[in-house]
């Protein structure tokens, strides 16, 4: 089954059987804005979380510094840079959302690997020093030099 191109974004879940089903069949143009953790439609919350068509999505393969609230000045600065970079990465064109082993985290966010052209946006953020690979727990951004 083929994913649906919706507003420049391929929205879907990779199911265990390898099928690809749409989360949304919206035909309007999606442009991501910025928002706070309170939410919104089609906006970036922080470096690893965004809203898409009313669903809160968490990049499952990374962890970025917190901005709601940060634990130190360094974390705040990196966190805002990561948010701005994710915003910039989401807007240029289609991305694919691939499901991992579980659908949601403890906060109800959809856990997805976000890819464009076979490259994880999370990997880009890691390479740029704005994220770390997710290892199952948060690590401090404050005690790193």
Alpha helices in the chain (DSSP H): 73-90, 121-127
Residue 124: pLDDT band with limits 50, 70, 90 = very high
User: Averaged over 117-136, what is the pLDDT?
Assistant: 95
Residue 29 confidence (pLDDT) above 50 = no
Residue 21 is encoded by which pair of tokens?
């089903």
Taken in order of first residue, the domains within the chain and their CATH numbers are: 32-133 (2.40.50.90)
Residue 98: pLDDT band with limits 50, 70, 90 = very high
H/E element, 85: helix 73-90
92 burial class (0-12, 13-18, 19+ CB within 10 angstroms)? exposed
User: Averaged over 11-21, what is the pLDDT?
Assistant: 39
Ramachandran quadrant class, 98 (left: phi over 0; alpha: psi -120 to 50; beta: rest): beta
User: Averaged over 78-94, what is the pLDDT?
Assistant: 95
User: Averaged over 49-67, what is the pLDDT?
Assistant: 94
pTM over 0.75: yes
Residue 50 confidence (pLDDT) above 90 = yes
47 versus 143: the higher-pLDDT residue is 47
Q: What is the per-residue pLDDT for 7?
A: 35
Residue 102: pLDDT band with limits 50, 70, 90 = confident
Residue 1 confidence (pLDDT) above 70 = no
């Amino acid at each position: 089954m083929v994913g649906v191109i919706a507003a420049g974004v391929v929205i879907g879940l990779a199911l265990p059987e390898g099928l690809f089903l749409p989360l949304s069949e919206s035909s309007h143009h999606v442009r991501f804005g910025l928002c706070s953790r309170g939410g919104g439609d089609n906006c970036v919350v922080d470096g690893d979380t965004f809203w898409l068509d009313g669903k809160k999505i968490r990049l499952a393969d990374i962890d970025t510094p917190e901005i709601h609230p940060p634990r130190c000045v360094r974390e705040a600065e990196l966190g805002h840079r990561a948010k701005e970079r994710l915003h910039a990465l989401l807007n240029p064109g289609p991305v694919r959302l691939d499901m991992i082993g579980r659908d949601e985290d403890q906060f109800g966010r959809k856990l997805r690997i976000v890819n464009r052209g076979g490259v994880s946006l999370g990997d880009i953020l890691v390479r740029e020093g704005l994220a770390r690979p997710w290892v199952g727990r948060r690590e401090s951004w404050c005690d790193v030099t």
